[in-house]
Amino acid sequence: MEAEKIRKYWHLINSDDEFVLKAFYYYNLDHKSPFGLYNIYEIIKDDLKDKGYAELYDKKLNLRYCTKRECKSFTNSVNSPEGVGLGNSRHASKSKKMSPKLKKMTVEEAGSFLNKIFWKWLEDKSESIKEN
């Protein structure tokens, strides 16, 4: 299934889009650890900011890759030892606590969340190339 998706969006690698190139690089390097997942998240976020969106959930511009709560749960979880666990989190400090209001994601849930965003983002990139 994953190889099928990669083939579907392979043409984007030849588009000279720096964000796509970086995202594919990190996806192929590591899309299972909190470190790799967060790198991909940041690249997508930077691409969207470059296009004038404030966040992945920008209501004003009708952008809905995720809800604000889902994004915060993801970032809190991968950053905090309380989220994905000590040794898996991007930070070891106890100061990086999970908000009790947010759902803690396991590494697998964070991966599933990011994969959903990654493939949707590539689909949107593919559509925008077709339009131009």
pLDDT of 10 > 80? The answer is: no
For the record, the structure tokens of 102 come out as 């947010």
pLDDT of 86 > 60? The answer is: yes
- Residue 64: Cβ-neighbour burial (10 angstroms; 0-12, 13-18, 19+): exposed
In this prediction the pTM is: 0.84
Residue 116 vs residues 7, 11, 91: alpha-carbon distances, Å: 17, 20, 24
Least confident of 21-35, 51-65, 69-83: 51-65
How does residue 50 score in pLDDT terms, banded at 50, 70 and 90?
confident
Of residues 90 and 78, the one with the higher pLDDT is 78
Q: For the chain, which residues make up each domain, given as ranges?
A: 2-126
Q: What is the pLDDT of residue 90?
A: 76
Instruction: Work out the average pLDDT over 29-35.
Output: 90
pLDDT tens across 94-127, in order? 656 667 788 889 999 999 999 999 999 999 888 8
Q: What is the pLDDT of residue 96?
A: 60
pLDDT of 61 > 60? The answer is: no
Q: What is the pLDDT of residue 62?
A: 60
Residues 35-41: contacts with CB under 8 Å, at least 24 apart:
35/90, 37/74, 37/78, 37/110, 37/111, 37/114, 38/75, 38/78, 38/79, 38/90, 40/114, 40/118, 41/74, 41/75, 41/114, 41/117
Q: Around Cβ 121, how many Cβ atoms within 10 Å?
A: 22
